[in-house]
């Protein structure tokens, strides 16, 4: 899982409730994965281009934030996550996620 490092990023550009929601989601995933699955939680210090969760190398939940021209911030409406199963026609989404997930300055903060 990759998430925003709220201690570094300019939070004035983000919807106010994102920090609490991200912390709650991390906590729930950690508890769900204990003794059941591996989990890595990475934090990145840059503007979020991709929001997503990769499951193994075969499944991907991914969303792309929208920009709100009225507020000058990331759009504060429901992000639609799409589920992709890896195949020839979805490979591009997996490549985007993997490239984004391996950008510099991200830190691994938790591993089960």
Q: CA angle at residue 21 from 96 to 71, to 5 degrees?
A: 75
| DSSP 8-state class, residue 31 | H
Q: What H or E segment, with its residue span, contains residue 46?
A: none
User: How far is it, in rounded angstroms, from Cα 59 to Cα 27?
Assistant: 21
Of 49, 57, 30, nearest to 41 by C-alpha is 30
Structural domains in the chain (count): 1
Domain containing residue 32: 2-111
User: How far is it, in rounded angstroms, from Cα 46 to Cα 37?
Assistant: 28
User: How far is it, in rounded angstroms, from Cα 88 to Cα 37?
Assistant: 27
pLDDT by 10s per residue, the chain, length 112: 888 889 988 888 888 888 998 899 999 999 999 999 988 888 887 766 787 888 888 999 988 888 888 888 777 767 788 999 999 999 999 998 888 877 777 777 778 7
């Amino acid at each position: 899982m990759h998430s925003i490092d709220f201690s570094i990023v300019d939070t004035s550009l983000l919807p106010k409730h994102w920090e609490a929601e991200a912390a709650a989601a991390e906590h729930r995933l950690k508890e769900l994965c204990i003794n059941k699955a591996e989990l890595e939680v990475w934090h990145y210090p840059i503007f979020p281009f991709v929001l997503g969760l990769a499951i193994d190398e075969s499944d991907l939940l991914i969303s792309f934030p929208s920009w709100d021209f009225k507020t000058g911030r990331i759009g504060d409406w429901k992000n639609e996550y799409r589920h992709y199963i890896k195949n020839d026609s979805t490979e591009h989404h997996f490549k985007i996620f993997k490239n984004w997930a391996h950008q510099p300055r991200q830190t691994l903060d938790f591993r089960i």
